[in-house]
Amino acid sequence: MLNAWAGQQSLVTISDPSGDDYGAGTLVYPQRADFQAGDLDLLQLKISRDDEGFWFEAMFKNPIRDPGGVPGAVGAESLANFARKGFYQFNIDVYVDTDRVKGSGNTFALPGRQVQIDPAYAWEKVVALTPRPELMRQQLLGALTEQFPDRTIAETEASVDQAMFFPTRIRVRGKSIAFFVPASFFAGSDGTDWAITALVTGAMITIPADLSFFPTTMKPLERLQLGVMQPVAGRPNETFGYSGAMPSPVVDMLGSSAEQQVRQLTAKEGITGVSWGPHAVNGIAMSVAASDAPIVEQKSAGSISAKPVVPIGNLLQPENPIAAKPSEAKPAETRPFADPSIVARRLQALQQLFDQKLIDEADYKQQKQRILNDL
């Protein structure tokens, strides 16, 4: 159902080809019985707005599987104990270019995706739908804190929250999943002249706590998978498989054709998105709302930090990972120990997640040990 909420005004409905849920052409689904071809096949993305903000609604080929009753990876517990938002198989990233200026914005994707965005669709905001939003946000903040210990927690949180939103208001109905983003996140942009790049990846529900098997020269952000299943050669049971050269973990992307998807993912080209409004440049099948649609009332989010917020690109952009205080920063691998005060704050944030029942005891113990290992 596309018009599930009264008072919504449709902005755009974008169609995606059916049967292209194979990434660069070689990805195969996990061999587990609860994964079938079509489960991550994105067919449509609709964006609407109301007086509070924006609704993004994605439709898949198959009904979205409920985690209730599905055995988890930890013992015989149900996946519902980990994924509490009504879904568990996938993540959806929506990179939003709000200013429509080529090269203005970010061209990297979130950690673990292994793709780049075309400069013509460089984004200012990203909406990251994941089965475990609170934990994923905490994982990202933890990695940034490890990599940039000279920055305060407040500075890091401000940089993340200005550019990234992890939805928690989510509704699953049949083949569709809708997620809400407050108007304040888009800082006054009304959605009538946007471009988006949308990616679907397999979701990793449980997070490895011990990452010591990675090379010690790898920085925290390079190790971070941020909830994405990474493909393994062959036909594995617990993640996506592949043949030939190792592909990106992106299973499907919003685009005009399957051929474009395979070409861009295989060649590791910048991923091109979809645009509408005065600066639209694509011919993908879509419907766009009338230009006289009512404008969303924009509510100020207030000041996140007393200091200027450092753009997230200065922290995550692969070719320019150090920013704001370059003269004080040292390579992460030269620091044998983390600042005890930073460790204490990370432990406090983890305890809050556990107290709010956003993570279970197994996750809590694993993440706690990982943090303590930094001492």
The answer to whether residue 64 sits within a structural domain is yes
Q: What is the CATH number of the domain that holds 235?
A: 2.60.40.1190
CA atoms within 13 A on the CB side of 330: 7
Q: How many domains does the chain have?
A: 1
The answer to whether residue 354 sits within a structural domain is no
Residue-level pLDDT at 287? 75
Measured CA to CA, the distance from residue 240 to residue 114 in angstroms comes to 15
The answer to whether residue 350 sits within a structural domain is no
pLDDT digits (tens, 9 = 90+) for 106-133: 999 999 999 999 999 999 999 999 999 9
The answer to whether residue 335 sits within a structural domain is no
pLDDT band at 374 (very low <50, low <70, confident <90, very high): low
- What percent of the chain shows pLDDT beyond 70? 76
Residue-level pLDDT at 359? 65
State which residues form the domain around 287.
9-133+162-294+302-310
The answer to whether residue 150 sits within a structural domain is no
Residue-level pLDDT at 276? 95
Task: Write the burial class of residue 7 (CB in 10 Å: 0-12 exposed, 13-18 middle, 19+ buried).
Answer: exposed
The answer to whether residue 110 sits within a structural domain is yes
The answer to whether residue 138 sits within a structural domain is no
CA atoms within 13 A on the CB side of 163: 25
pLDDT digits (tens, 9 = 90+) for 50-81: 989 999 999 999 999 999 877 765 455 677 77
pLDDT at 318 over 80: no
Residue-level pLDDT at 341? 63
pLDDT band at 266 (very low <50, low <70, confident <90, very high): very high
Q: H-type helices in the chain, by residue range?
A: 133-147, 153-163, 220-223, 258-267, 313-316, 340-355, 361-372
pTM: 0.81
The answer to whether 177 touches 58, Cβ cutoff 8 Å, is yes
pLDDT band at 364 (very low <50, low <70, confident <90, very high): confident
Measured CA to CA, the distance from residue 286 to residue 306 in angstroms comes to 42
Residue-level pLDDT at 347? 77
The answer to whether residue 73 sits within a structural domain is yes
pLDDT digits (tens, 9 = 90+) for 169-219: 999 999 999 999 999 999 999 999 999 999 999 999 876 544 444 445 778
